[in-house]
């Protein structure tokens, strides 16, 4: 019995040792597995963190690249304008050309004053202004620069003149501008430069108040005139942007004329404005653009435009400053509702009649 008991105890001890060894082995395996799992999770977390950093860096680089590209485009336009104006100044100061200058100025001013809302008038004025440019080209490059600068200055000035009073008058002026840039492509940058000088929202550019800048200095940077109220400023900016929008949506390809300030620029303008920081004037700018250019944007971009419109409603409007005028915001909502119902009509003045008396 004693032998059996000792044998049984040793068997039990052996089994206990085997069990302890198995448990230790399993414990070590669990530790190894847990360590491997933790290392794998840590690796994935590091990879996710690095991917997030890389994505953020890439996004930052893309944003910087877009800002740089836009700034380069802006500076390129301004340099082109300054180059034209420098040449124009040479011609302006040439005393031997005083009579020729007077004739060129007369040809520009008289015709731009007569722009009216009919296809016949647009064709007549465009042809006359082209003839004036052709005449200048037979004189000298400086004469062309003088004439182009004068035409651009007068056309853009209509933004705070005729267009500010009657927004639909932007369309015939735009048609003339597009026709001329089709014949004299360098005129496009001159027109853009004049817009950029008087209305930063046509760029579009966020004008930030600099440290130490006075209120008057900041207002000047925004383009305010001396003594101008905010309402007057908004009205003038709307005039300029209405004309700019009308130019971007004008399509004369059926007449063999390419628009260098065309609908692609309109898409870029709207996307940049929507993605920029909202300000008190933002809703005013957007509805001005939509009411002039929205119909052509819909025809050109369809689904993409629909998505951008939803973005304006769902994400931009809620971020508008509390002191934003309510009227423009309401008009954006109405525009979106009409668009959703398929009721969007061409803006008044877009379809030019054949003759003046047909316009209502």
Cβ atoms of 171 and 117 closer than 8 Å: yes
pLDDT digits (tens, 9 = 90+) for 116-135: 999 999 999 999 999 999 99
Burial class (CB in 10 A: 0-12, 13-18, 19+), 277: exposed
Q: Which residue has the tokens 């893309």?
A: 62
Cβ atoms of 283 and 297 closer than 8 Å: no
C-alpha–C-alpha distance, residues 270 and 260, integer Å? 17
DSSP state of 168: G
pLDDT digits (tens, 9 = 90+) for 276-302: 999 999 999 999 999 999 999 999 999
pLDDT digits (tens, 9 = 90+) for 57-80: 887 777 777 667 778 889 999 999
C-alpha–C-alpha distance, residues 155 and 352, integer Å? 18
341 three-class SS: coil
pTM above 0.85, yes or no: no
C-alpha–C-alpha distance, residues 31 and 26, integer Å? 8
Distant-in-sequence, close-in-space partners of 101: CB < 8 Å, separation ≥ 6: 91, 92, 146
Confidence of residue 356 (pLDDT cuts 50, 70, 90): low
Cβ atoms of 248 and 298 closer than 8 Å: no
Give DSSP secondary structure letters for 208-260. PPPTT--HHHHHHHHTPPTT--HHHHHHHHHHHHHHHHHHHH---GGGT---T
> Which CATH architecture best describes the domain 105-358?
Alpha Horseshoe (1.25)
Q: How high does pLDDT run on average in the chain?
A: 93
Domain-by-domain residue ranges, the chain? Answer: 1-93, 105-358
For residue 85, pLDDT beyond 90: yes
What is the token pair recorded at 98? Answer: 């005083």
208 three-class SS: coil
């Amino acid at each position: 019995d004693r032998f059996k008991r000792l044998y049984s105890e040793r068997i039990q001890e052996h089994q206990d040792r085997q069990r302890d060894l198995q448990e230790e082995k399993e414990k070590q395996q669990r530790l190894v597995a847990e360590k491997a799992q933790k290392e794998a999770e840590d690796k994935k977390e590091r990879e996710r963190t690095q991917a997030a950093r890389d994505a953020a860096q890439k996004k930052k680089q893309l944003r910087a690249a877009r800002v740089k590209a836009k700034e380069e485009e802006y500076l390129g336009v301004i340099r082109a304008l300054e180059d034209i104006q420098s040449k124009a100044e040479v011609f302006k100061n040439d005393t031997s050309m005083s009579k020729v200058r007077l004739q060129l100025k007369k040809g520009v001013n008289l015709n731009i004053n007569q722009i009216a809302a009919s296809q016949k008038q647009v064709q007549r004025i465009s042809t006359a202004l082209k003839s004036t440019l052709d005449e200048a080209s037979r004189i000298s490059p400086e004469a062309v620069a003088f004439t182009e600068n004068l035409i651009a200055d007068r056309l853009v000035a209509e933004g705070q003149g005729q267009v500010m009073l009657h927004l639909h008058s932007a369309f015939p002026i735009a048609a003339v501008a597009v026709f001329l840039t089709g014949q004299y492509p360098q005129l496009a940058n001159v027109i853009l430069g004049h817009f950029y000088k008087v209305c930063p929202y046509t760029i579009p550019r966020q004008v930030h108040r600099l440290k130490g800048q006075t209120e008057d200095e900041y207002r000047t940077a925004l383009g305010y005139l001396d003594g101008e109220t905010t309402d007057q400023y908004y009205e003038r900016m709307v005039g300029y942007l209405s004309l700019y929008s009308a130019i971007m949506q004008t399509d004369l390809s059926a007449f063999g004329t390419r628009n260098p300030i065309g609908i692609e620029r309109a898409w870029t303008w709207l996307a940049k404005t929507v993605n920029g920081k909202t300000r008190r004037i933002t809703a005013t700018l957007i509805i001005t653009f939509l009411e002039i250019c929205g119909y052509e944007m819909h025809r050109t971009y369809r689904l993409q435009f629909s998505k951008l419109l939803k973005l304006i409603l769902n994400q931009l409007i809620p971020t508008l400053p509390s002191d934003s005028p309510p009227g423009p915001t309401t008009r954006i909502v109405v525009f979106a509702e009409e668009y959703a119902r398929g009721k969007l009509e061409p803006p008044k003045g877009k379809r030019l009649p054949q003759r003046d008396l047909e316009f209502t």
